[in-house]
Amino acid sequence: MAWAPGAHDKHPACLLIFVSRLGICLPATRVMKQQLSNNGSTSTLRAWIEIQELPKHIAPVFRIILGGVLAWYVTGSFDWAVFALTLLSVFFIADGSFISNEYFDYETDSANATRLGGENQSVTSTGGTRVLVKGLIKRKHALVASIIFFLLAMPVGIILQFVFGTGAWTIPLGAAGILIGWFYTAPPVKAAYRGLGEIFMALAYFILVFTIYYTQAGLSWFPVAVASTQLFAVPAIKLLREFPDFEADKNAGKRTLVVIFGKEKMSKLYVILMAVAIVLFAPAFILSQSLFALLNIIPAYFILRSAINVARGNWRNPQGLAFSCRYGFYGLMFSPLTLSLTFLLNGLLDF
Distance of alpha carbon 243 from alpha carbon 225, whole angstroms: 30
Closest CA to 321 of 115, 146, 123, 148: 115
Q: What per-residue string of b and e applies to 20-32 under the rule 16 or more CB within 10 Å gives b?
A: eeeeeeeeeeeee
pLDDT interval class at 21 (50, 70, 90): very low
- Segment among 44-48, 83-87, 291-295 with least mean pLDDT: 44-48
What is the torsional sign of CA 166, 56, 237, 70?
A: positive
Distance of alpha carbon 248 from alpha carbon 116, whole angstroms: 13
- Tens of pLDDT, residue by residue over 163-199, are 999 999 999 999 999 999 999 999 999 999 999 999 9
Distance of alpha carbon 171 from alpha carbon 269, whole angstroms: 35
- Segment among 13-17, 18-22, 77-81, 262-266 with least mean pLDDT: 18-22
Share the mean pLDDT of the chain: 85
Cα-atom radius of gyration of the chain, to the nearest Å? Answer: 20
- Report pLDDT for 107: 83
- Report pLDDT for 237: 93
- For residue 255, the cross-strand partners are 194
Q: Does residue 280 carry a pLDDT above 80?
A: yes
Q: What is the DSSP letter of 255?
A: B
Which tops the pLDDT comparison, 56 or 271?
Answer: 271
- Report pLDDT for 70: 97
pLDDT interval class at 84 (50, 70, 90): very high
In the chain, DSSP finds a helix count (H) and a strand count (E) of 16, 0
pLDDT interval class at 339 (50, 70, 90): very high
pTM of the prediction? 0.82
Q: What is the dihedral of CA 8, 165, 178, 77, to 10 degrees?
A: 0
Q: Does residue 11 carry a pLDDT above 70?
A: no
Q: Which amino acid makes up residue 260?
A: I
pLDDT interval class at 247 (50, 70, 90): confident
Query: What is the number of residues in the chain?
Result: 351
- Report pLDDT for 158: 97
Q: Does residue 347 carry a pLDDT above 50?
A: yes
Domain segments of the chain as ranges: 14-350
Kindly report the CATH number that applies to the domain delimited by 14-350.
1.10.600
Which tops the pLDDT comparison, 343 or 130?
Answer: 343
Q: What is the dihedral of CA 60, 64, 66, 68, to 10 degrees?
A: 180
- Report pLDDT for 41: 45
* Alpha-helical segments (H) within 119-196: 139-162, 170-183
- Tens of pLDDT, residue by residue over 306-328, are 999 999 999 999 999 999 999 99
